[in-house]
Amino acid sequence: MNGKQVNRDRLRRLLSEELERFERDHPKSRTLFERAKASMIDGVPMNWMVKWAGSFPVFATEGSGAYIHDVDGHRYIDFCLGDTGSMTGHAPEGAMPAIVDRVRRGVTFMLPTEDAVWVGEELSRRFGLPYWQVAVSATDANRFALRLARHITKRKYVLVFNYCYHGTVDESFATLKDGRTVSRYGNIGPQTDPAGTTKVVEFNDIAALEEALAPGDVACVLAEPVMTNIGIIHPEPGYLDALREITRRTGTLLIYDETHTMSAGPGGYTGAHGLKPDMLTVGKAIGSGIPTAVYGFSEEVARRIRGSIDKEGADVGGIGGTLAGNALSMAAMRATLEHVLTRESFDRNIALAARFAEGVESVIREYGLPWIVKSLGCRTEYWFRDTPPKNGGEAAAAVDYELDRYMHLAALNRGILMTPFHNMALISFKTAPEDIDYHTTIFRESVAALFE
């Protein structure tokens, strides 16, 4: 890699200064964390919270629009937005009245409500797929889509891209090593060796895709149309056309996971680019953060599913979720789609994301850094390499845990929350231009401390 290199001693010194400042500024979060250790493993309600950049997580009190407050009285400009769950902004005004009203009138009945019909019709309009089902999370939507794909194709494998993330879906915890599928680093207690369920290829590699699908034993490809979980990796020109053509030719179903790529617009990347998947999944922001997700099917896939599931066994077939499709989640999706995730809102925050990227790029230019910025609609991210990675393997090779941690913590100590585990910013429908410019100032200060 060309260009300026980070002085590791200086980086470590800066990181320890930021850690000291973090601890000094967050005494109440520390007290709660110490108390939580007695009732929760590692003092956190969810295992990955231990990975936040500070010595312990910040304990939040409330979120409103683009901002979060913590127990120590700090306010943060929130560019993490619950890793997309709150892309709508926290407690979005457009959705809150319907959500609160629904909470008062009963949340879960094991019966459909009229909102479900409205949501199905609207999803069809946005994503171009005529039929829909509801799950509790994007993970579940993906798991159920994989099951249905195997069910109707009678094929055993699924194909995913190297360093993808689709939630806690067993089949997707696989990476490529020397051309072979292996269990992903960190995979906790896998129920089976993913080599027996999964084929992995690099994104943007047409020849590898051809080869993997040629034997006709892959039920489906599960893919983000733009990779977002190992940096943002765009498809090369013609790649998604090739993916569609090869999957069709080999009788392999194509599932797009739009959970993050929804940042591209009201119909996600699929809507924005007229893509034609066989199935599509999307969760997180679609209910303003109320747990819910949906998965949709083409006419042809729906035809194959219809009548293929025995009514008597339908409740024990591995597709479920007692709370799936409950009245609250349907009301949340309806209100979110109708009033929050609208074309006008996207136009506004996509323009602000461009402003964010320009700010970061101007600092990169000023300091001659070998870093790049990539964007997808209202999502933007910087990465520590000098050219855009073509695939997950290339992107993963540039991960710099220490540098990530420093950039995150320096931002957090100055009132900015970035998405943990990578340097990603989401722009909410409530983020102000001044928030973006403040980030540029802080990003510049952090870089100056590293290189001046």
CB 151 within 8 A of CB 314: no
Does the protein bind ligand PMP through residue 115 (CB under 6 A)?
A: no
Amino acid at site 144: F
Q: CB of residue 411 vs ligand PMP: minimum separation in angstroms?
A: 20
The residue with its CB nearest to ligand PMP is 167
Judged by CB under 6 A, the residue of 155, 284, 334, 379 near ligand PMP is 284
Residue placing its CB nearer to ligand PMP in the complex, 44 or 309: 44
Does the protein bind ligand PMP through residue 381 (CB under 6 A)?
A: no
CB 65 within 8 A of CB 89: yes
Residue placing its CB nearer to ligand PMP in the complex, 235 or 359: 235
Does the protein bind ligand PMP through residue 134 (CB under 6 A)?
A: no
Query: Taken in order 121, 123, 127, 130, is the CA torsion positive or negative?
Result: negative
Cβ count near 69 (within 10 Å): 16
Site string for ligand PMP, 31-70 (x = CB under 6 A): ----------------------------------------
Within residues 166-205, the interface with ligand PMP by CB under 6 A covers 166-167
Number of H helices, E strands in the chain: 14, 16
Q: CB of residue 280 vs ligand PMP: minimum separation in angstroms?
A: 12
Residue with tokens 């990181």: 15
Strand order in the sheet with 424-426: 372-376, 379-383, 424-426
Judged by CB under 6 A, the residue of 131, 165, 297, 382 near ligand PMP is 165
CB 417 within 8 A of CB 77: yes
Does the protein bind ligand PMP through residue 83 (CB under 6 A)?
A: yes
Judged by CB under 6 A, the residue of 224, 278, 394, 435 near ligand PMP is 224
Residue with tokens 């599913």: 305
Residue placing its CB nearer to ligand PMP in the complex, 290 or 412: 290
154 Rama class: left (phi>0) / alpha (psi -120 to 50) / beta = left
Residue placing its CB nearer to ligand PMP in the complex, 115 or 257: 257
Does the protein bind ligand PMP through residue 422 (CB under 6 A)?
A: no
Using CA atoms, how far apart are residues 335 and 85, in angstroms rounded to an integer?
15
Residue placing its CB nearer to ligand PMP in the complex, 78 or 224: 224
Q: Are strands 67-70 and 174-177 parallel, antiparallel or unpaired?
A: unpaired
Residue with tokens 């457009």: 94
Judged by CB under 6 A, the residue of 98, 138, 264, 280 near ligand PMP is 138
Residue placing its CB nearer to ligand PMP in the complex, 70 or 258: 258
Which range in 61-69, 137-145, 238-246, 338-346 contacts ligand PMP by CB under 6 A? 137-145
Judged by CB under 6 A, the residue of 29, 133, 139, 288 near ligand PMP is 139
Q: CB of residue 165 vs ligand PMP: minimum separation in angstroms?
A: 5
Q: How far is CA 428 from CA 44, 91, 136, 249, 400, in A?
A: 26, 12, 23, 40, 27
Task: Please name every residue paired with 295 in a beta bridge, in sequence order, or none if there are none.
Answer: 133, 281
DSSP symbols for 194-249: GGGTEEEE-TT-HHHHHHHHTTS-EEEEEE-SSB-SSS-BPPPTTHHHHHHHHHHH
3 state SS of 363 = helix
Site string for ligand PMP, 256-275 (x = CB under 6 A): -x-xx---------------
Does the protein bind ligand PMP through residue 229 (CB under 6 A)?
A: yes
In 3D, which of 160, 196, 189, 156 has the Cα closest to residue 175?
160
Residue placing its CB nearer to ligand PMP in the complex, 138 or 201: 138
CB 267 within 8 A of CB 126: yes
Binding residues for ligand PMP, total number by CB under 6 A: 15
Does the protein bind ligand PMP through residue 419 (CB under 6 A)?
A: no
Which range in 95-103, 159-167, 197-205, 443-451 contacts ligand PMP by CB under 6 A? 159-167
Residue placing its CB nearer to ligand PMP in the complex, 15 or 426: 426
Residue placing its CB nearer to ligand PMP in the complex, 113 or 142: 142
Residue placing its CB nearer to ligand PMP in the complex, 29 or 292: 292
CB 279 within 8 A of CB 255: yes
Question: Which residues are near ligand PMP by CB under 6 A?
Answer: 83, 137-139, 142, 165-167, 224, 229, 257, 259-260, 283-284
